[in-house]
Amino acid sequence: METIDTTKISVGVVGLGLMGCSITTCLLMAGHPVVAVAPLSADLEHAAKRIHDHLIRSVEHGLIKQQPEYYLQQLIITEDYSLLKDCQVVIECTLESEIIKQSVYNKIEAVIGSDAILTSNTSAIPISILQKLTLHPKRFFGLHWAEPSHTTRFLEIICGELSDPVKAEFLYNLSHQWGKEPTLVRKDIRGFITNRLMYAMYREAINLVENGYATVEDVDRACRNNTGYWMTLVGVFRWMDLTGVPAYHTVMKDLFPTLHNGTEVPELIDKIVREGGKGVANAHGFYNYTPEEAKLWEETFTEFSYEIRQLALKYPADVVEKKLKAKNNK
């Protein structure tokens, strides 16, 4: 794997909501100079504190060795798009709206060099659609992160129909320097890889609750104690290898015809959204929370993200290859 000197690559982040701040944190931790642009003035009120708090926790958990000030000297937070002019990579993290994104791309492309790479953190809009909204579609890619971006190992690099494969390989190599174990999605598809897998599970979970087979709590408990038990170690294909492929083949024949395949948004989630529910953000979701409970769940998730990272680092995808190499070198 080619090692890239991140200190020589300036990166822009446009959009400073929750994910924009954690992506910025990840890039600072990797050594990049970062220009973080807030398309909304309201984001300026929270961005600096969020990034600083992420860095403080990262020091406490041993992800980085220096104090926040060491990394923050590499950061510019601004509303001025012109400061992106020297960035070699720009990551857009705005709302899931083609109209909004095109407006942002116009502002970015007015100032960056023609050889700079432009990417989107979209999780819903195909890259092949978004890249056609830009002046130079060959240099456009999806960079799909997971929150919190500075602790998770996840990253999808998505090629659109017009994307330059050489630049895709560059992003793939660079993302390893960000502490990622990336997936290169070579053919564009709506939802990419992880969301297609996850939304199939969300749909089946909601269907089971709506039809009285289990409660929300029951479904969550089953996920935590089965799928959640092994997924940090392996993915679905390795899991089938480990536990016997023929058994899955047998079950598929009878189970697949019974799985839910509806195309409408289920009433269970639609009702929550109609009533203004946002989950722990406003203490109203599939569960109801007191404000104190909602805050504690957010804090617990943050703490867990650091702990699960340590477990994932202990058991990387090539854990067996590393063990064999160490054994053979004795």
Q: Which residues contact 77 (CB under 8 A, 6 or more apart)?
A: 16, 36, 38, 44, 47, 48
In DSSP notation, 168-204 reads HHHHHHHHHTTT---EEE-S--TTTTHHHHHHHHHHH
| Per-residue pLDDT at 318 | 86
> For position 4, what pLDDT does the model report?
84
CB-CB contact of 39 with 204 (8 Å): no
* Measured CA distances, 230 to 201, 237, 263 (Å): 16, 12, 29
Task: Identify whether the C-beta of residue 35 lies closer than 8 Å to the C-beta of residue 87.
Answer: yes
Can you give the pLDDT at residue 322? 86
Cα 308 from Cα 268, distance rounded (Å): 30
Predicted TM-score (pTM) of the model is 0.88
* Rounded-to-integer distance, Cα 256 and Cα 273, Å: 30
Which residue ranges of the chain lie beneath pLDDT 50?
none
Q: d(Cα 99, Cα 102) in Å, to the nearest integer?
A: 5
- Residue 174 has a pLDDT of 97
Q: What is the pLDDT of residues 187-228, one digit of tens each?
A: 999 999 999 999 999 999 999 999 999 999 999 999 999 999
Helix (H, G, I), strand (E, B), or coil: what is residue 141? Answer: strand
Which pLDDT score is estimated for 1?
67
Under 8 Å between Cβ of 139 and 120: no
